[in-house]
């Protein structure tokens, strides 16, 4: 069944009909009230779900999710504009980020939406797996989410991952598995990988992030050194510590 976006007579969004929003149904817009609540799903749930947002551009979805936290009216305006096919004002930084990630090799729309939302939306409902014994099994929000620059944020992180032996395909795997890596900055990632090399992780050191992407969430000085120090205190060998880092931390 084709999904339809429904607005009430007061201009507020009532919801979507059950089913996926696809390109063929983007123009299905009717300004009338909702008659049967069982046929519709919650507005907030819709805008956070790739299933319901798959018909809209990544930039529109990112803008919509960020604005929805400030007020329904502004979010509805963005959504109505997208549904009726009108031009929207998209943040150039978001567009540049999407284009960069596509050039890197991330082509799947749902994956792009998730990466951009986690990295740029402080209110994202996506949760990220973090390392360590205190990490929540349900994941945690990205505390460093913000507007990112390709030149100042994304490219330096990608460059340092390449410096430590990752090919483009590996970098894509790390980003998809742990999107906040793009928010950590070149210096933090470089210190982390340099310390992992000191610990005994075999070269190319960056490969450990492919095996265990959540390790990127650790800081060398604040977290990782304490973890490694504990293992050393307990008498673990360098090989055993590396194996634990790859599988258990």
What pLDDT sits at residue 109?
A: 84
CATH of domain 92-247: 1.25.70.10
Reported as a pLDDT band with limits 50, 70 and 90, residue 183 is very high
Asked whether 189 and 158 are in contact (CB, 8 A), the reply is no
According to the model, what pLDDT value does residue 227 have? 92
Helices (H), 200-237: 207-211, 225-233
- Please check the confidence at residue 18 and state whether its pLDDT lies above 60: no
Contact 153, 183 (CB under 8 A): yes
Query: In this predicted model, what pLDDT tens digit does every residue of 64-118 receive, in sequence order?
Result: 667 666 655 566 666 666 655 554 456 788 889 999 999 999 999 889 988 998 9
- Rounded to an integer, the average pLDDT of 127-149 is 78
CA distances from 189 to 80, 105, 126, 172 (A): 41, 21, 22, 16
pLDDT in tens, 163-173: 999 999 999 99
Nearest partner of 224 among 235, 212, 179, 168, judged by Cα? 212
Domain assignments of the chain as residue spans, ordered by start: 5-83, 92-247
* pLDDT tens, position by position, 154-163: 999 999 999 9
Q: What would the two tokens of residue 75 be?
A: 């979010």
The whole-angstrom separation of Cα 24 and Cα 26 is 6
Q: Tokens 């504990």 belong to which residue? A: 230
| Distance separating alpha carbons of residues 66 and 75, to the nearest angstrom | 8
Distance of alpha carbon 46 from alpha carbon 70, whole angstroms? 17
């Amino acid at each position: 069944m084709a999904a339809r976006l429904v607005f009430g007579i007061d201009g507020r969004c009532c919801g979507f009909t059950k089913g996926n929003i696809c390109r063929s149904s983007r123009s299905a817009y009717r300004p009338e009230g909702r008659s049967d609540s069982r046929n519709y799903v919650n507005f907030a749930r819709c805008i956070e779900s790739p299933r319901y947002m798959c018909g809209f551009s990544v930039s529109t979805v990112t803008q919509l999710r960020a604005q929805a936290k400030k007020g329904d009216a502004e979010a509805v305006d963005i959504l109505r504009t997208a549904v009726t096919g009108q031009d929207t004002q998209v943040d150039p930084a978001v567009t540049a980020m999407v284009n960069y990630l596509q050039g890197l090799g991330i082509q799947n729309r749902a994956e792009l939406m998730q990466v951009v939302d986690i990295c740029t939306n402080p209110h994202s409902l996506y949760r990220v797996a973090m390392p360590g014994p205190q990490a929540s099994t349900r994941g945690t929000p990205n505390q460093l989410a913000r507007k990112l620059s390709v030149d100042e944020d994304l490219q330096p992180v990608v460059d340092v991952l390449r410096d430590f032996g990752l090919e483009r395909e590996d970098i894509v795997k790390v980003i998809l598995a742990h999107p906040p890596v793009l928010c950590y900055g070149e210096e933090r990632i470089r210190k982390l990988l340099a310390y992992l090399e000191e610990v005994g992780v075999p070269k190319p050191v960056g490969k450990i992030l492919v095996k265990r992407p959540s390790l990127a969430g650790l800081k060398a000085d604040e977290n990782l050194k304490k973890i490694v120090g504990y293992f050393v205190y307990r008498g673990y060998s360098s090989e055993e510590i590396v194996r634990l880092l790859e599988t258990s931390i």
